[in-house]
Amino acid sequence: MANTPDSNSMWGGRFGGGPAAIMQEINASIPVDKRLWEEDIAASRAHAAMLGAAGIIGADDAVQIDRGLAQIAEEFAATGVPVDLALEDIHMTVESRLKELVGEAAGRLHTARSRNDQVATDFRLWTRTACERIDTGLAAMQAALLARAEDHAGSIMPGFTHLQVAQPVTLGHHLLAYVEMFGRDRGRFADARRRLNESPLGAAALAGTGFPIDRDATAAALGFDRPMANSIDAVSDRDFALEFCASASIAAIHLSRLAEEIVIWASQPFGFISLPDAWSTGSSIMPQKRNPDAAELVRGRAGLLLGAFQRLAVIVKGLPLTYSKDLQDDKETVFGAFDALALSLAAMTGMVETLTFRTDRMRALAASGYSTATDLADWLVRENGLPFREAHHVVGACVKRAEELGVELSALPAADAAAIHPAVTSDVLAALTVEASVASRTSYGGTAPERVRQAIAAARAALEGSNGWR
């Protein structure tokens, strides 16, 4: 019988130590969770201060620990976090360096806590900041859209349903739709931040601790509203991470829809916009091409963000209480979602700020496809008392005849119009301009330029207000 090679020999020199080396590689999270170093040190400093104040550790030890942690923060800020797989994670990396700096006192820091409540605390602190940073990006996106909407409150473009020309609208009104979407996204992140702002610290491994700790003190020191009420929930909950990913997914969908419109509008058949060189690329073979790659990449990133929520949901859905090692992958998932969304927001904001709208082309297409037909139906209802369904039928017949003759609705011959309905005169048809159409849509939330300007003012006031958005 031939000798059977070691089952791990296929991995070569990297795993020369066999199973132990592979286990270390899969078990260590420091390459990912080193990103939590600021949160880990902040939580450790709060914990040490509480232990000292409660008399659980000596005052001198508390002071030494705090000084050591402050020094570690300076080192990591200056040179980065060292990656040693043998130390597994950011918590042991910090504690190991602390021992080098302050000696035996470092071992007292972990009194009355576990890595289970430690990582839950760090992760909540990081996600809280991530919510705030995404909110800042969304607000910048809204501000860019508002500025362009203000420039084009009266610029006319076609409004679409089924990607068919439907009714004339203003470009400002169209852009304000995205301001509303991103405002709802901000509300979702604000809600997620509010719910996650409870402290797991002090829950220890899962059952709490027998030491006389002050969880209210550490919660307050870290800016949490309160300690979490149940120690089991405190170490096992990842709702806050799921909410972040869910909110990020919806925001990414909104960005993707805007990106898709930019791609369509930049195409020659539409020709609604011209993208600056900064947000375009050329073709390797066709010198005339200007490709909307930035918009396409934002559209593509939406898949990553949708996948992040799905991945985290699958990780969590089958876990019994309390902690399981599966949760080690939660941070990589959320970090990736944050990075993708933050980059997409920055790119899309830059595009909106700098693209050029070709309003002449928009205006021309808005007048095509019998886009003012609904205005004629409304006129028949308003001025002649026809039921809307009858008016709809009359106008449909007018459009059909205009299509047969190959003319716009406003150019339908008087005899043909009168044969369909005597109220449809040449004067009425001639008044069916796209300008008149948009000006007539004065209902709240409508596309009339006066309404658009009012909506811009209200949105700007909300954006600049104390709450950041209504």
Q: Which positions are catalytic?
A: 162, 283
Indicate the SS3 state at residue 97: helix
In this structure, are residues 93 and 84 in contact, taking their beta carbons and an 8 Å threshold? yes
3-state secondary structure 190-250: HHHHHHHCEECCCCCCCCCCCCCCCHHHHHHHCCCCEECCCHHHHHHCCHHHHHHHHHHHH
Phi and psi angles of residue 382, each rounded to the nearest 5 degrees, phi first: -70, -40
Closest to 354 measured CA to CA, from 138, 135, 137, 147: 147
Phi and psi angles of residue 50, each rounded to the nearest 5 degrees, phi first: -65, -45
Phi and psi angles of residue 203, each rounded to the nearest 5 degrees, phi first: -75, -15
Residues in the chain: 470
> To 5 degrees, how large is the angle CA 368–CA 369–CA 374?
105
Say how far apart CA 449 and CA 95 lie, in whole Å.
Answer: 62
What does the block give as tokens for 412?
């339908």
Is the peptide bond preceding residue 322 cis, with omega within 30 degrees of 0? Answer: yes
What does the block give as tokens for 234?
């405190």
In this structure, are residues 273 and 351 in contact, taking their beta carbons and an 8 Å threshold? no
Unique residue bearing structure tokens 């005339």 = 288
Using alpha carbons, list the distances in angstroms from residue 320 to 196, 199, 363.
Answer: 21, 21, 60
**Given the DSSP bridges, would you call strands 198-199 and 356-357 parallel, antiparallel or unpaired?**
unpaired
Neighbours of 412 (CB within 10 A): 20
Say how far apart CA 252 and CA 302 lie, in whole Å.
Answer: 5
Say how far apart CA 76 and CA 94 lie, in whole Å.
Answer: 10
What does the block give as tokens for 87?
């130390």
Indicate the SS3 state at residue 174: helix
DSSP code for 442? -
In this structure, are residues 325 and 361 in contact, taking their beta carbons and an 8 Å threshold? no
Say how far apart CA 261 and CA 181 lie, in whole Å.
Answer: 15
